[in-house]
Protein backbone atom coordinates (compact mmCIF):
# COMPACT_ATOMS: atom_id res chain seq x y z
CA UNK A 1 0.00 0.00 0.00
CA UNK A 2 1.06 3.58 -0.68
CA UNK A 3 1.25 4.34 3.03
CA UNK A 4 4.07 1.84 3.37
CA UNK A 5 6.32 3.84 1.06
CA UNK A 6 6.81 6.51 3.69
CA UNK A 7 8.65 9.64 2.60
CA UNK A 8 7.86 13.30 2.33
CA UNK A 9 4.58 12.92 0.46
CA UNK A 10 3.04 11.57 3.64
CA UNK A 11 4.16 14.36 5.94
CA UNK A 12 0.98 16.21 5.16
CA UNK A 13 -1.26 13.23 4.90
CA UNK A 14 -4.85 14.32 5.30
CA UNK A 15 -7.43 11.78 6.43
CA UNK A 16 -10.04 13.64 4.36
CA UNK A 17 -7.96 13.93 1.17
CA UNK A 18 -7.11 10.84 -0.80
CA UNK A 19 -6.11 7.49 0.62
CA UNK A 20 -8.46 4.59 1.09
CA UNK A 21 -10.69 4.20 4.14
CA UNK A 22 -8.36 1.34 4.96
CA UNK A 23 -5.55 3.90 5.24
CA UNK A 24 -7.65 6.00 7.59
CA UNK A 25 -8.44 3.02 9.76
CA UNK A 26 -4.75 2.15 9.77
CA UNK A 27 -3.68 5.66 10.77
CA UNK A 28 -6.39 5.70 13.42
CA UNK A 29 -5.11 2.43 14.86
CA UNK A 30 -1.57 3.79 14.83
CA UNK A 31 -2.70 6.94 16.64
CA UNK A 32 -4.45 4.80 19.25
CA UNK A 33 -1.24 2.81 19.74
CA UNK A 34 0.81 6.02 19.94
CA UNK A 35 -1.22 7.29 22.90
CA UNK A 36 0.83 6.77 26.04
CA UNK A 37 4.13 6.56 24.13
CA UNK A 38 6.63 9.35 23.53
CA UNK A 39 5.48 9.56 19.88
CA UNK A 40 2.93 12.06 21.20
CA UNK A 41 4.25 15.13 22.98
CA UNK A 42 3.45 18.77 23.59
CA UNK A 43 5.17 21.92 22.42
CA UNK A 44 4.48 25.22 24.15
CA UNK A 45 4.16 28.50 22.26
CA UNK A 46 4.68 31.63 24.38
CA UNK A 47 1.93 34.24 24.74
CA UNK A 48 3.84 37.47 24.92
CA UNK A 49 3.01 40.83 26.49
CA UNK A 50 3.45 43.72 24.03
CA UNK A 51 4.37 45.89 27.06
CA UNK A 52 7.64 44.27 28.03
CA UNK A 53 7.92 41.16 25.80
CA UNK A 54 7.49 38.92 28.87
CA UNK A 55 6.01 35.43 28.53
CA UNK A 56 2.62 35.73 30.21
CA UNK A 57 1.47 32.27 29.27
CA UNK A 58 1.95 29.37 26.88
CA UNK A 59 -0.34 27.46 24.54
CA UNK A 60 0.09 23.68 24.54
CA UNK A 61 0.21 22.30 20.98
CA UNK A 62 0.28 18.56 20.37
CA UNK A 63 2.74 16.84 18.05
CA UNK A 64 2.86 13.30 16.70
CA UNK A 65 6.24 11.94 15.65
CA UNK A 66 5.22 8.93 13.60
CA UNK A 67 8.03 6.35 13.30
CA UNK A 68 7.69 6.14 9.48
CA UNK A 69 5.72 9.19 8.40
CA UNK A 70 7.71 11.69 10.46
CA UNK A 71 5.99 14.64 12.09
CA UNK A 72 2.24 14.53 11.43
CA UNK A 73 0.42 17.85 11.84
CA UNK A 74 -2.38 18.11 14.41
CA UNK A 75 -4.47 19.70 11.64
CA UNK A 76 -4.31 16.21 10.08
CA UNK A 77 -4.71 13.87 13.04
CA UNK A 78 -6.98 15.83 15.40
CA UNK A 79 -9.94 15.54 12.95
CA UNK A 80 -9.26 11.81 12.73
CA UNK A 81 -9.15 11.53 16.52
CA UNK A 82 -12.44 13.41 16.67
CA UNK A 83 -14.13 11.02 14.24
CA UNK A 84 -12.93 7.90 16.03
CA UNK A 85 -13.61 9.19 19.56
CA UNK A 86 -9.92 8.83 20.42
CA UNK A 87 -9.97 12.58 21.09
CA UNK A 88 -11.53 11.84 24.48
CA UNK A 89 -8.56 9.96 26.02
CA UNK A 90 -6.15 12.05 23.92
CA UNK A 91 -7.66 15.31 25.17
CA UNK A 92 -7.50 14.14 28.78
CA UNK A 93 -3.85 13.26 28.30
CA UNK A 94 -3.08 16.70 26.80
CA UNK A 95 -4.88 18.50 29.62
CA UNK A 96 -3.21 16.51 32.39
CA UNK A 97 0.23 16.82 30.83
CA UNK A 98 -0.11 20.58 30.26
CA UNK A 99 -1.46 21.31 33.76
CA UNK A 100 1.30 19.24 35.38
CA UNK A 101 3.92 21.04 33.31
CA UNK A 102 2.61 24.46 34.39
CA UNK A 103 2.82 23.44 38.06
CA UNK A 104 6.34 22.05 37.60
CA UNK A 105 7.51 25.30 36.00
CA UNK A 106 6.07 27.33 38.87
CA UNK A 107 7.84 25.09 41.40
CA UNK A 108 11.13 25.54 39.58
CA UNK A 109 11.02 29.10 38.31
CA UNK A 110 8.57 30.90 40.59
CA UNK A 111 7.18 34.13 39.20
CA UNK A 112 9.19 33.75 35.99
CA UNK A 113 7.03 30.73 35.07
CA UNK A 114 4.17 31.27 32.60
CA UNK A 115 1.10 32.33 34.57
CA UNK A 116 -1.44 30.66 32.33
CA UNK A 117 -1.52 27.48 30.31
CA UNK A 118 -3.79 27.45 27.25
CA UNK A 119 -5.15 24.09 26.11
CA UNK A 120 -7.15 23.46 22.92
CA UNK A 121 -10.40 21.60 23.42
CA UNK A 122 -12.37 20.05 20.56
CA UNK A 123 -16.13 19.93 20.09
CA UNK A 124 -16.37 16.27 20.93
CA UNK A 125 -14.75 16.80 24.35
CA UNK A 126 -16.81 19.85 25.22
CA UNK A 127 -20.05 18.02 24.42
CA UNK A 128 -19.33 15.28 27.00
CA UNK A 129 -21.57 15.78 30.02
CA UNK A 130 -18.70 14.69 32.29
CA UNK A 131 -16.16 17.11 30.79
CA UNK A 132 -16.26 19.72 33.61
CA UNK A 133 -15.83 16.96 36.21
CA UNK A 134 -12.87 15.55 34.30
CA UNK A 135 -11.23 18.97 34.21
CA UNK A 136 -11.89 19.46 37.94
CA UNK A 137 -10.28 16.10 38.62
CA UNK A 138 -7.17 17.00 36.63
CA UNK A 139 -6.86 20.34 38.44
CA UNK A 140 -7.18 18.55 41.79
CA UNK A 141 -4.59 15.92 40.82
CA UNK A 142 -2.06 18.39 39.46
CA UNK A 143 -2.72 21.23 41.93
CA UNK A 144 -3.09 23.85 39.18
CA UNK A 145 -5.33 26.72 40.34
CA UNK A 146 -8.32 27.04 37.96
CA UNK A 147 -7.61 30.68 37.08
CA UNK A 148 -4.30 29.57 35.54
CA UNK A 149 -6.05 27.37 32.96
CA UNK A 150 -7.45 28.76 29.70
CA UNK A 151 -9.47 26.38 27.53
CA UNK A 152 -9.41 27.35 23.85
CA UNK A 153 -12.49 26.50 21.86
CA UNK A 154 -13.27 27.39 18.27
CA UNK A 155 -16.42 28.83 16.87
CA UNK A 156 -17.19 25.54 15.15
CA UNK A 157 -16.70 23.76 18.48
CA UNK A 158 -19.66 25.54 19.98
CA UNK A 159 -21.84 25.76 16.89
CA UNK A 160 -23.37 22.54 18.11
CA UNK A 161 -24.38 24.37 21.27
CA UNK A 162 -26.61 22.49 23.72
CA UNK A 163 -24.58 20.60 26.31
CA UNK A 164 -21.48 22.61 25.35
CA UNK A 165 -22.89 25.86 26.69
CA UNK A 166 -23.98 24.23 29.95
CA UNK A 167 -20.44 22.89 30.26
CA UNK A 168 -18.92 26.30 29.52
CA UNK A 169 -20.96 27.82 32.34
CA UNK A 170 -19.85 25.05 34.70
CA UNK A 171 -16.18 25.49 33.77
CA UNK A 172 -16.30 29.25 34.21
CA UNK A 173 -18.00 28.88 37.58
CA UNK A 174 -15.01 26.77 38.61
CA UNK A 175 -12.79 29.77 37.78
CA UNK A 176 -11.39 28.38 34.53
CA UNK A 177 -11.10 30.83 31.66
CA UNK A 178 -12.45 30.20 28.16
CA UNK A 179 -11.00 31.70 24.97
CA UNK A 180 -12.60 31.74 21.52
CA UNK A 181 -9.82 30.62 19.17
CA UNK A 182 -9.45 31.70 15.52
CA UNK A 183 -11.97 34.43 16.25
CA UNK A 184 -13.59 35.98 13.20
CA UNK A 185 -13.34 32.99 10.88
CA UNK A 186 -16.64 31.37 11.81
CA UNK A 187 -19.93 31.68 9.98
CA UNK A 188 -21.96 33.34 12.72
CA UNK A 189 -19.47 35.05 14.95
CA UNK A 190 -21.74 37.64 16.50
CA UNK A 191 -24.63 35.29 17.24
CA UNK A 192 -22.19 32.91 18.82
CA UNK A 193 -20.67 35.60 21.00
CA UNK A 194 -24.13 36.43 22.19
CA UNK A 195 -24.95 32.86 23.23
CA UNK A 196 -21.58 31.59 24.32
CA UNK A 197 -19.99 32.56 27.65
CA UNK A 198 -16.28 33.32 27.12
CA UNK A 199 -13.50 35.41 28.69
CA UNK A 200 -11.15 36.04 25.78
CA UNK A 201 -11.09 36.41 22.01
CA UNK A 202 -8.12 35.16 20.02
CA UNK A 203 -7.97 37.20 16.84
CA UNK A 204 -7.34 34.82 13.93
CA UNK A 205 -4.02 35.25 12.20
CA UNK A 206 -5.70 36.11 8.89
CA UNK A 207 -6.64 39.45 10.52
CA UNK A 208 -3.35 39.90 12.37
CA UNK A 209 -1.32 39.51 9.20
CA UNK A 210 -2.74 42.47 7.33
CA UNK A 211 -1.56 45.96 6.45
CA UNK A 212 -2.97 49.01 8.22
CA UNK A 213 -6.04 50.26 6.41
CA UNK A 214 -6.92 47.15 4.40
CA UNK A 215 -10.20 45.29 4.94
CA UNK A 216 -8.75 42.60 7.15
CA UNK A 217 -7.03 45.19 9.31
CA UNK A 218 -10.44 46.80 9.78
CA UNK A 219 -11.52 43.52 11.37
CA UNK A 220 -8.63 43.75 13.84
CA UNK A 221 -9.88 47.22 14.76
CA UNK A 222 -13.49 46.02 15.10
CA UNK A 223 -12.58 42.99 17.21
CA UNK A 224 -10.72 44.97 19.86
CA UNK A 225 -13.59 47.44 20.08
CA UNK A 226 -16.03 44.57 20.42
CA UNK A 227 -13.88 42.93 23.09
CA UNK A 228 -13.67 46.15 25.08
CA UNK A 229 -17.41 46.71 24.86
CA UNK A 230 -18.03 43.18 26.12
CA UNK A 231 -15.27 43.29 28.75
CA UNK A 232 -13.28 40.47 27.13
CA UNK A 233 -9.51 40.04 26.96
CA UNK A 234 -7.78 39.63 23.59
CA UNK A 235 -4.85 37.75 22.14
CA UNK A 236 -3.71 38.34 18.56
CA UNK A 237 -2.44 35.16 16.91
CA UNK A 238 0.12 34.66 14.16
CA UNK A 239 2.29 37.77 14.58
CA UNK A 240 5.18 37.28 12.16
CA UNK A 241 6.70 40.76 11.77
CA UNK A 242 7.69 43.79 13.85
CA UNK A 243 5.26 45.89 11.79
CA UNK A 244 2.36 43.63 12.72
CA UNK A 245 3.34 43.85 16.40
CA UNK A 246 3.54 47.66 16.21
CA UNK A 247 0.18 47.91 14.49
CA UNK A 248 -1.49 45.65 17.08
CA UNK A 249 0.05 47.64 19.93
CA UNK A 250 -1.28 50.86 18.38
CA UNK A 251 -4.74 49.28 18.18
CA UNK A 252 -4.61 48.40 21.88
CA UNK A 253 -3.83 44.68 21.77
CA UNK A 254 -1.79 43.73 24.83
CA UNK A 255 -0.99 40.06 24.37
CA UNK A 256 0.17 38.39 21.15
CA UNK A 257 1.42 35.06 19.90
CA UNK A 258 3.42 34.31 16.78
CA UNK A 259 6.62 33.26 15.10
CA UNK A 260 8.03 36.82 15.39
CA UNK A 261 8.25 36.35 19.17
CA UNK A 262 8.54 32.58 19.49
CA UNK A 263 7.65 29.37 17.68
CA UNK A 264 6.11 26.48 19.57
CA UNK A 265 8.97 25.37 21.88
CA UNK A 266 10.02 22.10 23.48
CA UNK A 267 10.00 21.81 27.28
CA UNK A 268 13.80 22.23 27.24
CA UNK A 269 13.58 25.37 25.11
CA UNK A 270 10.97 26.93 27.41
CA UNK A 271 13.15 26.10 30.39
CA UNK A 272 16.09 27.81 28.70
CA UNK A 273 13.99 30.98 28.45
CA UNK A 274 12.77 30.67 32.03
CA UNK A 275 16.23 30.08 33.45
CA UNK A 276 17.44 33.23 31.68
CA UNK A 277 14.51 35.24 33.09
CA UNK A 278 14.97 33.73 36.56
CA UNK A 279 18.67 34.60 36.79
CA UNK A 280 19.68 38.17 37.63
CA UNK A 281 20.75 39.87 34.41
CA UNK A 282 23.93 41.16 35.99
CA UNK A 283 26.00 39.13 38.38
CA UNK A 284 28.22 41.22 40.65
Q: Where on the chain is the footprint of ligand C2E (CB under 6 A)?
A: 45, 61-62, 73-75, 78, 94, 120-122, 152, 181-182, 205, 238-240, 257-259, 264
Report the alpha-carbon distance of residue 235 to residue 232 in Å, rounded: 10
Tell the smallest beta-carbon distance from residue 153 to Mg ion (Å).
9
For residues 129 and 83, is the Cβ–Cβ distance under 8 A? no
Using CB atoms, what's the residue nearest to ligand C2E? 258
- Which one of ligand C2E, Mg ion, none is in contact with 281 (Cβ closer than 5 to 8 A by kind)? none
For residues 58 and 45, is the Cβ–Cβ distance under 8 A? yes
Report the alpha-carbon distance of residue 21 to residue 60 in Å, rounded: 30
- Which one of ligand C2E, Mg ion, none is in contact with 155 (Cβ closer than 5 to 8 A by kind)? none
- Select 125 or 181, whichever has its Cβ closest to Mg ion: 181
- Select 106 or 120, whichever has its Cβ closest to ligand C2E: 120
Tell the smallest beta-carbon distance from residue 164 to ligand C2E (Å).
14
- Select 96 or 121, whichever has its Cβ closest to Mg ion: 121
Tell the smallest beta-carbon distance from residue 49 to ligand C2E (Å).
16
- Which one of ligand C2E, Mg ion, none is in contact with 85 (Cβ closer than 5 to 8 A by kind)? none
What is the DSSP track for 106-153?
HHHHGGGS-SEEEEE--HHHHH-TTHHHHHHHHHHHHT--GGGEEEEE
Tell the smallest beta-carbon distance from residue 45 to ligand C2E (Å).
6
Positions in the binding site for Mg ion (CB under 5 A): 120, 152, 181-182, 237
Tell the smallest beta-carbon distance from residue 202 to Mg ion (Å).
5
- Select 30 or 202, whichever has its Cβ closest to Mg ion: 202
Q: Residues with Cβ < 8 Å from 29, sequence gap 6 or more?
A: none
What is the DSSP track for 195-238?
HS--SEEEE-HHHHSS-TTSHHHHHHHHHHHHHHHHT-EEEE--
- Select 183 or 229, whichever has its Cβ closest to ligand C2E: 183
Amino acid sequence: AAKRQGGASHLHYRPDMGGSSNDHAHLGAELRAALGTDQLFLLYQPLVSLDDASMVGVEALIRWKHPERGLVSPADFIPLAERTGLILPLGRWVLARACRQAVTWTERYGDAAPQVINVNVSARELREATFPDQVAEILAETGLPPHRLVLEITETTVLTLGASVTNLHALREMGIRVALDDFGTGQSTLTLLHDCPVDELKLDRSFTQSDAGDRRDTMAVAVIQLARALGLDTVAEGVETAQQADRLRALGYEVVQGFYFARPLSVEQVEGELAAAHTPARVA
